[in-house]
């Protein structure tokens, strides 16, 4: 046991209590952010004359050494310490002596942990950002290749109207584009630096909070020290953004699983992204998509857990808040793995265009277009709807698609029908006539793809600038 606060105690902490209370097993993850925060703190203390130049240099050299040793694996973080803050401070004192004891001047672990977690999330947002970009590129690639790969669009999981694969994929592009924006949005709102909030009431030292905020790349210091140490809103926002990403991935996974089934055969997941069965030799299972769908529950769980933990917590810091970490870390790991595996699965997946096209033909997906044909020739829509209903019944009886129903049958129901009906209801015509913005028509889709391309380019420029 090595703790920072033994002075007012007459007894050692019980072993079980110590373990229950400790967070080092998980907060060691942000050792780099903890050290970075301490270096900024020390620079500010010396600038304000609270530490002298020699002390500053000694401490910074000591901290830099610890960071290097940890990164290179020369120094190991052990459970002997209560948390990462105690570990770093203790090793520093061991290495540089008395100067190290001044590191914690004007600081509390409450503002320290609030800072560390923010710095960590900020770094992870960047990683997630890049992963979402990878996924968006994978989707865009499919869109560009499948502008006229016809397939049925569904409502109620019933074939509804013909669309294209590009159009269907475009819906996912939109979802992940919003996710990308949402993640960046959180960054804007969490851009205040809690360091200097102290335990809750600031400190009596003349700290320059604006300076530390600037050194650490924040927009400015948090404006209320109580909120500075007890705000976990940004984590809740972050976990909701992660939950929404998982919801999107899960819907997509569900479709991939269906499309990969024997019944659909719209796609084939590559062998490298499938798994076999220990008993049934013929099986090739979509385990990755299923696991992505499954892990969604885990991330939703984390969001819910943090919401419940924060509910009813009085101001300011309470130890309950230590619980924010494991869920958040677990969610970050899950989401990163899911996005990157999903993107890989998409890039290697084969699309069976013929099967999709046949499926669109078989499901009367062009029935609306037969009605439109009549409407364009003066038949009121409601009458046309009824007539096409009768035609569909006839097709079911004859076991043929609308495209193969003889012209006599059409004319028996309405004499307005002419030979050009077949061209008017071909999949190509049905899709290409849908030319409004956002519709599946090839021209409309091409325009949207251009917009997406520009979006990705702007995004890359923005990354280069930051």
Q: Catalytic residue positions? A: 156, 277
Encoded tokens for 399: 């076991």
- Select from 186, 316, 321, 339 the one that contacts ligand ARG (CB under 6 A): 321
CB 248 within 8 A of CB 127: no
Using the rule CB under 6 A, which residue among 40, 113, 242, 246 binds ligand ARG?
Answer: 113
Residue 285 DSSP code: B
Rounded to a whole number of angstroms, the minimum distance from the CB of residue 103 to ligand ARG is 16
* Two tokens, residue 448: 């949207």
C-alpha to C-alpha distance for 439 and 434, rounded to whole angstroms:
6
Strands 158-164 and 150-155: antiparallel
Interacting residue with ligand ARG among 240, 322, 348, 426 (CB under 6 A): 322
Q: How far is the CB of 326 from ligand ARG (least distance, A)?
A: 10
Q: Which is nearer to ligand ARG, 80 or 418 (CB)?
A: 80
Q: Is 346 a residue that touches ligand ARG (CB under 6 A)?
A: no
**Using CB under 6 A, which residues numbered 204 to 223 contact ligand ARG?**
none
Q: Which residue is nearest to ligand ARG (CB)?
A: 322
Give 143-210 as a DSSP string.
Answer: HHHTTT-EEEEEETTEEEEEEEHHHHHHHHHHHHHHHHHHHHHHHHHT-EE-TT-TTTT--SS---HH
- Nearer to ligand ARG by Cβ, of 121 and 321: the residue is 321
- Count the site residues for ligand ARG by CB under 6 A: 10
Q: Is 220 helix (H, G, I), strand (E, B) or coil?
A: strand
Residue 3 CB, nearest approach to ligand ARG (Å): 10
Q: Which two tokens stand for residue 440?
A: 């599946």
Binding string, residues 82-101; x marks residues near ligand ARG by CB under 6 A: -x------------------
| Strand ranges (E), 45-176 | 150-155, 158-164
**Segment near ligand ARG (CB under 6 A), from 140-148, 270-278, 313-321, 434-442?**
313-321
Nearest distance in Å: CB 222, ligand ARG: 16
In sequence order, the β-bridge partners of residue 275 are: 285
Closer of 113 and 360 to ligand ARG (Cβ): 113
State how far the Cα of 210 lies from the Cα of 51, in Å rounded to an integer: 18
Neighbours of 262 (CB within 10 A): 5
Tokens of 160: 């509804």
Nearer CB in complex with ligand ARG: 23/260: 23
> Is residue 317 at the binding interface for ligand ARG, with CB under 6 A as the rule?
yes
* Contact string (CB under 6 A) for ligand ARG, positions 26-65, x = contact: -x--------------------------------------
Q: How is residue 13 annotated by DSSP? A: P
What CA–CA distance (Å, rounded) separates 285 from 172?
23
User: By CB under 6 A, which span of 314-322, 332-340, 349-357, 432-440 interacts with ligand ARG?
Assistant: 314-322
Residue 316 preceded by cis peptide, ω within 30: yes
Options 42-50, 123-131, 140-148, 318-326: segment touching ligand ARG (CB under 6 A): 318-326
From the CB of residue 225, how many other CB atoms can be counted at a distance below 10 Å?
A: 23
**200 near ligand ARG, judged by CB under 6 A:** no
Site for ligand ARG, rule CB under 6 A: 23, 27, 83, 109-110, 113, 317, 319, 321-322
């Amino acid at each position: 046991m090595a703790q920072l606060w033994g002075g007012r105690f007459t007894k050692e902490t019980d072993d079980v209590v110590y373990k229950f209370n400790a967070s080092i097993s998980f907060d060691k993850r942000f050792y780099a952010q903890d050290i970075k925060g301490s270096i900024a703190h020390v620079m500010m203390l010396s600038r304000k004359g609270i530490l002298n130049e020699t002390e500053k240099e000694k401490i910074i050299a000591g901290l830099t050494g610890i960071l290097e040793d940890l990164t290179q694996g020369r120094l190991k973080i052990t459970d002997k310490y209560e948390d990462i803050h105690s570990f770093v401070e203790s090793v520093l004192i061991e290495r540089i002596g008395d100067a190290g004891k001044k590191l914690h001047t004007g600081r509390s672990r409450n503002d320290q942990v609030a800072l560390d977690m923010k710095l960590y999330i900020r770094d992870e947002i960047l990683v997630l950002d890049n992963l979402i970009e990878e996924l968006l590129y994978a989707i865009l690639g499919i869109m560009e290749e499948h502008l006229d790969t016809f397939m049925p669009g569904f409502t109620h999981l019933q074939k509804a109207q013909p669309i294209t694969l590009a159009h269907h994929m475009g819906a996912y592009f939109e979802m992940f584009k919003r996710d990308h924006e949402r993640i960046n949005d959180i960054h804007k709102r969490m851009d205040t630096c809690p360091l200097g909030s102290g335990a809750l009431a600031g400190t009596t030292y003349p700290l320059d909070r604006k300076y530390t905020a600037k050194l650490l790349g924040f927009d400015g210091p948090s404006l209320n020290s109580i909120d500075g140490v007890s705000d976990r809103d940004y984590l809740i926002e972050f976990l909701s953004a992660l939950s929404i990403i998982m919801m999107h991935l899960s819907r997509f996974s569900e479709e991939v699983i269906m499309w990969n089934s024997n019944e659909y055969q719209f796609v084939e997941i590559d062998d490298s992204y499938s798994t076999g069965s220990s008993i049934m030799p013929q099986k090739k299972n979509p385990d990755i998509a299923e696991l992505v769908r499954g892990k969604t529950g885990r991330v939703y769980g984390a969001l819910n857990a943090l919401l419940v933990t924060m509910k009813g917590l009085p101001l300011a810091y309470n130890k309950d808040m230590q619980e924010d970490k494991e869920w958040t870390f677990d969610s970050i790991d899950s989401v990163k793995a899911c996005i990157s595996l999903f993107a890989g699965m998409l890039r290697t997946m084969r699309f069976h265009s013929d099967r999709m096209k046949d499926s669109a033909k078989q499901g009367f997906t062009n029935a609306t277009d037969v009605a439109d044909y009549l409407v364009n020739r003066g038949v009121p829509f409601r009458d046309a709807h009824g007539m096409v209903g009768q035609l569909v019944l006839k097709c079911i009886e004859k076991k043929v698609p609308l495209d193969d129903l003889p012209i006599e049958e059409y004319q028996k129901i309405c004499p307005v029908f002419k030979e050009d009906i077949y061209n008017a209801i071909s999949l190509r015509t049905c899709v290409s006539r849908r030319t409004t913005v956002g519709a599946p028509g090839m021209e409309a889709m091409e325009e949207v793809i251009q917009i997406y391309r520009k979006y990705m380019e702007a995004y890359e420029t923005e990354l280069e600038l930051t």
